[in-house]
């Protein structure tokens, strides 16, 4: 009985969708203990490239070169680039510190949000690559962790999910804008907020000179915490947590 098939993820019968997932395949023990290539090594190398040069630098050829291997070698382990990215995302989620969720729902959710943000800031490509419902083991551990903390407060299943989705929705959306701005700054070489505003000035002042954004312009002139992303994130997060506490009387 073959433990694996080629190409990866396909069944012998010709059904259109492979019913056996990446994770199911990888969990089966490797029949031959080859060490040259392994899902771990593939994920590590791909994540390293993405961290250093962005997701667009992760190419099947580049990955192969990084591993010292032929361009097609990784296809024994992932069925295509989509699965490679699933593997990368799961690898990063595996390093998310979840710890013990025993300090009450609010501290648990707050710590989870901060940890998720830190993860996305350390691996900026994850905000675009991480699709919910990819159902990878380490991604599923996140709702599992949150549900465990939320379960002790008498919330029904739907409300529990609503709380979870509200928090993670805020985190994902908020961090996306943060990471996008960071990427722009990095590729343009702007190190601090003043350089960023200077670089954006031509586009910005042209838009402002149209006179169609008076309120936005007032914000630009009077805001003082534009360069404090931690404050911005945590302020919004505390809003969300306050709202959950108020809305569900927790």
Partner DNA sequence: ATCTGTCGGATACAACGTACACATCAGCGT
Partner DNA sequence: ACGCTGATGTGTACGTTGTATCCGACAGAT
What binding mask, one character per residue, do residues 199-218 give for its own copies by CB under 8 A, x or -? -x-xxx-xx--x-xxxxx-x
- Taking CA atoms, 229 is separated from 39, 190, 232, in Å, by 35, 16, 5
Query: Tokens 């509200």 — which residue?
Result: 166
Residue 133 makes contact with its own copies by CB under 8 A? yes
Cα Rg, the chain, nearest whole Å:
22
Residue 220 makes contact with DNA by CB under 7 A? no
Among 18, 39, 44, 81, binds DNA (CB under 7 A): 81
Residue 244 makes contact with its own copies by CB under 8 A? yes
CB 129 within 8 A of CB 55: yes
Among 99, 169, 195, 198, binds its own copies (CB under 8 A): 169
What binding mask, one character per residue, do residues 89-128 give for its own copies by CB under 8 A, x or -? ---------------------------------------x
Q: How far apart are the first and last CA of the chain?
A: 54
Among 44, 54, 73, 159, binds DNA (CB under 7 A): 73
Residue 72 makes contact with DNA by CB under 7 A? yes
CB 87 within 8 A of CB 22: yes
Spatial distance between the Cα atoms of 131 and 117, rounded to a whole number of angstroms = 16
Closest CA to 105 of 159, 53, 60, 56: 159
- The DSSP string of 73-104 is GGGGT-SSHHHHHHHHHHHHHHT-------S-
Determine the interface stretch with its own copies among 55-63, 67-75, 87-95, 179-187 (rule: CB under 8 A). Answer: 179-187
Q: How far is the CB of 23 from DNA (least distance, A)?
A: 16
Determine the interface stretch with DNA among 24-32, 91-99, 167-175, 189-197 (rule: CB under 7 A). Answer: 24-32
Residue 138 makes contact with DNA by CB under 7 A? no
Enclosing H/E stretch for 200: helix 193-209
Residues that bind DNA (CB under 7 A): 2-7, 30-34, 36-37, 58-62, 64, 69-73, 75-77, 80-82
């Amino acid at each position: 009985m073959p433990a694996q098939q080629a190409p990866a993820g396909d069944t012998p019968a010709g059904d259109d969708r492979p019913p056996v997932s990446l994770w199911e395949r990888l969990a089966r023990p490797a029949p031959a203990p080859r060490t040259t290539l392994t899902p771990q090594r593939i994920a590590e190398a791909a994540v390293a490239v993405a961290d250093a040069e962005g997701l667009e630098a992760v190419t099947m050829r580049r990955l192969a070169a990084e591993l010292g291997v032929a361009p097609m070698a990784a296809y024994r382990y992932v069925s295509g680039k989509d699965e490679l990215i699933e593997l990368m995302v799961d690898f990063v989620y595996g390093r998310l510190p979840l710890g013990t969720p025993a300090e009450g729902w609010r501290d648990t959710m707050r710590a989870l949000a901060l940890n998720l943000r830190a993860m996305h800031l350390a691996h900026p490509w994850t905000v675009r690559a991480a699709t919910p419902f990819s159902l990878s083991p380490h991604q599923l551990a996140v709702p599992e962790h949150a549900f465990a903390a939320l379960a002790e407060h008498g919330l029904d299943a739907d409300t529990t999910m609503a709380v979870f989705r509200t928090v993670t929705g805020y985190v994902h959306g908020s961090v996306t804008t943060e990471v996008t701005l960071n990427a722009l700054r990095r590729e343009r070489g702007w190190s601090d907020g003043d350089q960023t505003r200077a670089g954006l000035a031509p586009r910005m002042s042209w838009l402002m000179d149209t006179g169609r954004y008076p309120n936005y312009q007032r914000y630009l002139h009077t805001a003082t915490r534009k360069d404090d992303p931690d404050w911005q994130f945590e302020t919004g997060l505390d809003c969300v947590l306050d709202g959950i506490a108020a809305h569900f009387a927790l």
